[in-house]
Structures are given as structure tokens and as C-alpha cells.
Amino acid sequence: MRQRLYFWFKTHLGFSAKESRGFLLLIPCLLLLVGASQVLAWAKDRNAEKHYQQYLNQVDSLERAGVQLLASPLPTFNPEDTLSRSHSSKVSDRIKRLPFSEVDSVVLQIVPGIGALTAGRIIKHRESLGGFIKVEQLHEVFGLRPETIPVIWEYFDFDRVAPRRIEINTVAVEELAKHPYISYQEAKVLVAYRLQHGPYLQVDDLLKIKIFKKDWVGKIGPYLNFEMKKEESQNK
């Protein structure tokens, strides 16, 4: 078969035996290049489709939050981007202010200086806390620049009371220790004291545990619920 190909190359193309062997070796390389280009094109299409779907999800989230888009949020060049201007007068005055407890990681990116990763870390810390109630708590978020923190307050309303609180008189040690401000050892002491002395009625009851400092009790107090259900108060 190979000799026939060599003969055909010589009679029709004028190839020598050496040129015919080289041409046969070149054909698989060409086929690999064509196949690789097809695979790259397919991968680019899938990647573009993924980014476009993320874009649609962002637009949907912003629209559900009441944000009206005046231009595409896709990364296109805008000469005005090179101008120094006040972001609060351009954007925050035109959108509906939401409680920070209702904001997701997509809507949060409307704040200048907050990207997808930082927004995700902010939301994760908010959920583990039970909600932000003080601006100082935003300094606990890794990667959030200090100059960005005051800008967040221009876009959203913060909660005065923690949206989610821990039922301190019924919670188990493992669940209590999930809170960022409470270690496992502290959770064990809190639950053990409750089991021995009865339910906590107010935040100052935690100070009866002599090892706890007042500052720390004041820090975790807003995230604890001391109200007892009707059946619990009857059992008491």
C-alpha cells in the first residue's frame, strides 16, 4: 500500500521517495492541528455560553432587587469611565435602597470596589453572624478595603436588630459553636451553665459565668434570643 502511494506521488506530483515519506508523516500532524482547532473552538463556545448565562443571572437578580439598568452591564468601553465622579450621586440616588439582610452577592456588586469574590465573602460572613448590625463588623471581612465600607452604607440600609438570633435556651453546643464570635469551649460552658442553673432570662445572666468578660457578652448578646416558648415557661 505504501509503495503504491509513493508511486502515485512520484507520477502525479513529482515527489521523490524522501519527499513522499515526509509528506506521509505530515498528514497526521495536519489532522491533529485541525482536530485541536475544533476542540478549542468548542471550548470557547462553552465558556462564552457560561459567561452569558452568568450575565443573565446577574441582570435577573438586579431587576428583582428593583435596579433599573440604563445600559448593558457587560464590560464595554465607556469614555466616562475615565472621569472622576461621585458614585453616590450617579447610582445610589437612582436605585431603591434595600435592607442589607435581603441583598445577595450579585446585587452587592453594584457598590464600587466590590467584586464577585469580595461580595461572596461579605454574604458568607453575614449569614454566619446572623446579620450585620454595626459597621465595624464589615472590617472582619477578609479582602474588604476600609475605604469601601462607608460606601456600602450609601446603597443599603443596615439592620438595627440581628435578623436571625440563636435560641440560647434550647441550642446545642455544636450549633452554638458555629457562630463566629463563639468558640466550641465557650459554647460548652454556656450550655453546661444553662443545664445546671436553668434558662437565661437576659443577656446579663451570662455575666454570672465569671470567666466571661462584659465586652464579649455585649458582643454576642444581640445574636441571642432569650424569649422562652410558652411550654418552656410552664415547665420552669
Note the CATH number of domain 166-235.
1.10.150
d(CA 208, CA 174): 22
d(CA 176, CA 184): 8
What's the whole-model pTM score?
0.58
> Per residue in 186-228, pLDDT tens?
999 999 999 999 999 999 999 999 999 999 999 999 999 998 7
d(CA 108, CA 119): 6
Residues of the chain with CATH 1.10.150: 90-157, 166-235
CA 194 and chain centroid, separation: 36
Calculate mean pLDDT across residues 165-182: 96
For residue 88, what is its C-alpha cell? 453616590
> Per residue in 102-135, pLDDT tens?
999 999 999 988 999 999 999 999 999 999 988 8
> Distances from the Cα of 74 to the Cαs of 51, 59, 66, 93, in angstroms?
10, 10, 19, 22
Let me know the angle formed at the C-alpha of 113 by 45 and 145, rounded to the nearest 5 degrees. 130
Let me know the angle formed at the C-alpha of 171 by 168 and 176, rounded to the nearest 5 degrees. 85
Q: Does domain 90-157 sit in CATH 1.10.10?
A: no
pLDDT at 183 over 80: yes
